[in-house]
Structure 1
């Protein structure tokens, strides 16, 4: 596996951040590929860099489904509260009350719009300039809070992002704001695809299985009304962990990239 690491300063924290770029080495360097942007980049490949010791190993999933694509994985902030800030498009006092991490902050969230703007207007143009890509074929994948920001990206930039997978979305975060944003968005075109899922045994901090199931059910219903090709799966006994997301990746990629 060959991963190129670059450092970029994001507007959210104004600190250097690692971007991990994977392109299948068996393919010619000049073969234009679709690009998959992924959040929590340190967890996307190897368990050696993953926050909880297990990586998604997405490169293996690409090979398993014989998909020719690039991965651009953006590391999340080291501090868990900064991650909430970056992946939540809206400030949310309820988010502060529901997180598992003690904090002196009075609000959390609200940097997600700037983060997404940076991906679309700065990172994507850089990738398209320096690698052989299909600029009109852009996918975004994230889990938990990464699912929140991925869903936001689909409806904020439908002219740029055509495919999204939101795994085990932390739908309780920014719930009302995200739901309203989706409901007010225009219907997307036939080229758009959206995959969502949630396990029946998902918990994080004080959030229960019921919280995850209910909020994902409601968000998925809203997405289905806007996206013609949408899929929502409730995974029996699945927990909130990278091991589960790694297992689901081949099937998710097949759905997103099926003709």
Structure 2
């Protein structure tokens, strides 16, 4: 028995919905994971995920792959100059995007599919700028999400690490998975060269705010660069750490 992938729209927002093998409308509610950049992190990983469900390494999850309308605008918390002439500037509409997620998109999903509405089952995961905005979702809506995955989060972004450091974020019961490749940013001449250092800084800031080892994980993948191949691998690791066996009751 296999799950299903289907394309949908909520207003103008496109998204891919993955429903696991035993999903039905009259069964128990399923944990829902909101994933940035559409289904790019999971469309090649479904077979592996379903194997993990079968082996009971993971509970069955509903995945919602949210298509960005403009990721340079929506995944950045405030405007910033572009890093090169090849790209437009960063629009900094992240808080507007997160408000749309919290007040319109997520309620739409929860009204139309059989997913749990409890914060401790509700997750948000993204990679690169998607990893950055996932962490800012926790800052903006700390009681809404119980699971945050920040894969190769763009903490080089101007003032991002500093803003997280001085924020009043409290650990509560949230669990945060962070990952970065040991080689990320090494060849860059721009502020992206500080990728590894800034990720470690954010991790340290969260520890200082009281996040325990059971609430916070930093995976530094040796030899990994900033590439989707590594993001997808870390997406699976994030789900296993956040939702897997020996974790808190769902």
The TM-score with structure 1 as length reference comes to 0.81
Match of 1:215 among 192, 198, 202: 198
User: C-alpha offsets along residues 168-213 of structure 1, whole Å, 9 cap, x if unaligned?
Assistant: 1111114x14532452223121x21011111012248654774211
Aligned residue number for residue 170 of structure 1: 154
Structure 2 CA distance for partners of 1:7 and 1:28, relative to 1, 3 Å: closer
The aligned counterpart of 2:13 is 17
**1:8 equivalenced with 2:5 (yes/no):** no
Runs (5+) with no aligned partner, structure 1 = 10-15, 47-54
Provide the rounded CA distance (Å) in 1 between the counterparts of 2:234 and 2:46.
10
SS of the aligned residue for 2:91 comes to coil
CA contact (8 A) 1:155 1:182 kept: no
Say if 1:151 and 1:164, in contact at 8 Å, map to a contact too.
Answer: yes
Distance of aligned partners of 1:23 and 1:240 in 2 relative to their CA distance in 1, 3 Å threshold: same
Q: What is the aligned partner in structure 2 of residue 250 from structure 1?
A: 236
- 2:31 aligned counterpart, secondary structure: strand
Aligned residues: 232
RMSD: 2.3
Task: Give structure 1 regions of 4+ aligned residues with deviation exceeding 6 angstroms.
Answer: none
Corresponding residue to 1:148 among 120, 132, 155:
132
- Give the unaligned 5+ runs of structure 2: none
Query: 1:201, 1:209 within 8 Å by CA — same for their partners in 2?
Result: no
Mapped contact 1:154–1:163 kept (Cα < 8 A): no
Conserved in 2, the CA contact under 8 Å of 1:39 and 1:76? yes
Taking structure 2 as the reference length, the TM-score comes to 0.83
| Partner Cα separation in structure 1 for residue 183 and residue 238 of structure 2 | 20
Q: Secondary structure at the match of 1:43?
A: coil
